Every structure is written in structure tokens, then in C-alpha cells.
Amino acid sequence: MADNFRVIFVELAQDVDSKTVCVNLATKLKTSEEKVALFFKGKPLFAPNNKDKALKQAKLLASLGINCRLQAVSSAAQNSSVSIANSLRDERIFDALDYITSSLIRLEEKLEDLEQRLPEAQLKIPDESVDEWQSDDLMLEEDLVPPKKRSNILLYSLVTTAVILLIVLAVYLVFPNLFSF
């Protein structure tokens, strides 16, 4: 059994002018005359409602000289519109994830380019450790330890931050009600 009903236009009463009815209905419902004209052409004017509210809507239309009928709206039709909305949302999410993935690939390629250029740049810089004015030896008690190889902590932290932000974006797109800003 249908839970909701929709008011469907059938015809105008015999002694009623369509233009007058259109203007009166638009004024009464505080809507545009175009929507009322579309109602006369078969488009729904009201959203599906329970039977009592649909009967009140039909009474209002009958008082203006509009003959109409109630049409049962199955919950399957409502579920199909919800599933269409969900599929559109899923499509947007997949598009966003595709964009994120391609951005990560571009970032990775740029990082590889930077890593390849880094040794070349270090070789081209002249050695500043050998100065002519410093010819005498330093007297240190401890032997000098060569510096550790420079780590890419900053680079990895930037990539990690970008990945975390992208994950948060994906979670926000999948569960928009989770965040209330």
C-alpha cells in the first residue's frame, strides 16, 4: 500500500478561465505562474505527502475550480530517486579520488626529479671548506666526525601532510554530515 499521494491535474471546471485560475493559484500558494502553468500541463505542483495533506491540497484546488485526482506514489519510486542521488554522489567522490591520485603521482614525479638534480647541484658548488688563509692545523682533542648524510625529513613530512589532507578530504566527501563547520 502506498504511504504517499500526489495531486495530479485532471481538468478545469466548465465556467473557469485558465488565466484567472493560474493567477489566483499562484497568489494563494505564493509561487510563480510558470509553475502553476506546468501543473496544468501534467507536472506535479506539490511534493508527495500523506493522504490527509494530499486531500487538503485537492480541496484547495477544487475551491479554485480545478479538478484533480490523487495518485499513489510508491516508496520504490522514492527509493529510486534516492539511489540516483547516491550514485551521483559516488561518482563525484570517485572523480575527486581520481584527481587526488593523479596529484599524488605528479608530486612523486617532481620529487624524483628533485632527488636526481640534487647531487648534480652539490657537485657544481665550489668547495668552500678549503680556504687559503686557513693553512694552520686545528688542535682538537677529538677526531672530527664526518657529518651525517642529510635526510629528507622535510620532504617526507610534506608528502605525509599532503596525504593526510587528501584522506581528510575523502572522508569529508564520503561522510559530509560527520563535519559541522
Query: 49 pairs with which residues across the strands?
Result: 5
- pLDDT at residue 104, rounded to an integer: 92
What pLDDT score does 160 carry?
A: 95
pTM: 0.41
Grid coordinates in use for 101?
591520485
Q: Domain locations in the chain?
A: 4-73, 83-124+150-178
Give 10-residue mean pLDDT values along the chain (181 residues).
79 85 88 87 85 89 88 71 82 90 91 80 58 56 71 89 95 84 60
The pLDDT value recorded for residue 122 is 63
Phi, psi of 117, deg, nearest 5: -80, -25
H or E element: which one contains 2?
Answer: none
Give the C-alpha separation, 167 to 25, whole Å.
51
Residue 169: the pLDDT is 92
CATH of range 4-73; options 2.60.120, 1.10.3470, 1.10.260, 3.30.1390: 3.30.1390
